[in-house]
């Protein structure tokens, strides 16, 4: 994967997120987050950034209960609260050493893990906000390819048993980045390899569209598919977190 400035990505994506959220009424529905309005989306990302910042500040050895943190304000004040949360998160991440150990859900993590996770969180939700507000731009190709890899190798590793079942192979290939994955599902769960190869289904798309597809933001019709469309749709349902 390409080298990525995750701090700059957090800064950029969070600013674009707020701009999009501020451009429409807060009660505007968010199509990609059923049941949520823009205000809910802002409250969510601001809360996540505040939570991550609080843990990075003390290099938390255990998960911090988000219920112990302040609740987001209601109404337009939530936008300023979001900006403050981003500033706090960036300050905490900049002051901490990337290799400093701290809690991460995969086990023994580092501050670098949180730089990456928060960049990906901001990018996908920026897309959600822009999609609710009007035209949205794709995710940065390098960041999106890294997002696919993070989802496949970290998030899904938390529940490999969900992939136990009818065996199948999938080949995902980014058309605008040097990134591809060969996925095998079946009796032992999910295996991820960073290569191409023969597969039951091959899906090609921009890295942005692959990432957004895996996170449930786009349908299978956003991809160029050769092989079993049903297997690809089943895999997307299994990636829902």
Q: Are residues 104 and 181 in the same domain?
A: no
| Whether residue 163 sits in one domain with residue 46 | no
Same domain? For 86 and 114 the reply is yes
Note whether residue 33 is domain-resident: yes
**Closest of 49, 50, 41, 47 to residue 21, by C-alpha:** 41
Structural domain includes residue 86: yes
Q: What is the pLDDT of residue 158?
A: 65
**Phi, psi for 134 (deg, rounded to 5):** 150, -145
Domain count, the chain: 2
Task: Report the pLDDT value the prediction gives residue 157, as an integer from 0 to 100.
Answer: 67
Domain membership of residue 112 as a residue range? 6-134
Same domain, yes or no: 212 and 174: yes
Q: Which residues of 26-41 are buried (b: 16+ CB within 10 A; e: fewer)?
A: bebebebbeebbbbbb
- The band of 161, judged by pLDDT with boundaries at 50, 70 and 90, is low
24 burial class (0-12, 13-18, 19+ CB within 10 angstroms)? middle
Q: Are residues 19 and 113 in the same domain?
A: yes
Q: Where are the alpha helices (DSSP H) in the chain?
A: 6-22, 38-58, 77-95, 111-133, 141-150, 207-214, 229-239
| Whether pLDDT at 241 is above 80 | no
Is residue 1 in a domain?
A: no
**pLDDT single digits (tens) 185-229:** 887 788 899 999 999 999 999 999 999 999 999 999 999 999 988
Residue 40 has pLDDT above 70, yes or no: yes
SS3 172: strand
For residue 171, tell me if it sits in a domain. Answer: yes
Q: What is the mean pLDDT of residues 155-167?
A: 71
My answer on whether 74 and 193 are in the same domain is: no
CA-to-CA dists, residue 125 to 13, 84, 215, angstroms: 9, 17, 11
Alpha-carbon span 32 to 123, nearest angstrom: 14
Question: Same domain, yes or no, for 102 and 162?
Answer: no
pLDDT in tens, 120-142: 999 999 999 999 999 899 999 99
| Domain-located, residue 38 | yes
Mean pLDDT, the chain, whole residue set: 93
Q: What pLDDT is attached to residue 167?
A: 85
Grouping H, G, I as helix, E, B as strand and the rest as coil, residue 223 is coil
Q: Is 123 in the same domain as 176?
A: no
Residues 118 and 235 in one domain: no
pTM of the model: 0.94
- d(Cα 68, Cα 53) in Å, to the nearest integer? 14
- Sign of the CA dihedral with 217 first, then 203, 163, and 192 last: negative
Last residue of a domain, one of 110, 134, 158: 134
Q: Could you tell me the pLDDT band of residue 118, with boundaries at 50, 70 and 90?
A: very high
């Amino acid at each position: 994967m390409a080298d990525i400035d995750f701090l700059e990505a957090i800064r950029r994506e969070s600013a674009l997120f707020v701009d999009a959220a501020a451009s429409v009424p807060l009660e505007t529905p968010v199509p990609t987050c059923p049941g949520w309005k823009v205000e809910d989306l802002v409250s969510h990302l601001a809360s996540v950034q505040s939570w991550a910042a609080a843990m990075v500040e003390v290099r938390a050895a255990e998960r911090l209960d988000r219920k112990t943190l302040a609740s987001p304000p209601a109404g337009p004040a939530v936008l300023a609260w979001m900006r403050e949360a981003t500033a706090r998160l960036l300050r905490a991440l900049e002051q901490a050493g990337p290799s400093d150990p701290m809690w991460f859900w995969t086990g023994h993590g580092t501050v670098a893990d949180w730089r990456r996770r928060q960049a990906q969180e901001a990018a996908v939700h920026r897309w959600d906000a822009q999609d609710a507000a009007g035209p949205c731009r794709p995710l940065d190709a390098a960041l999106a390819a890294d997002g696919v890899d993070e989802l496949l190798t970290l998030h899904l590793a938390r529940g490999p048993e969900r992939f136990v079942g009818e065996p199948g192979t999938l080949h995902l290939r980014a058309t605008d980045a040097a990134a591809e994955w060969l996925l095998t599902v079946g009796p032992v769960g999910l295996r991820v390899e960073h290569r191409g190869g023969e597969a039951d289904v091959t899906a090609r798309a921009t890295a942005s569209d692959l990432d957004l597809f895996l996170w449930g933001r786009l349908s299978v019709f956003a991809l160029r598919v050769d092989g079993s469309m049903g297997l690809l749709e089943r895999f997307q349902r299994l990636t829902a977190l």
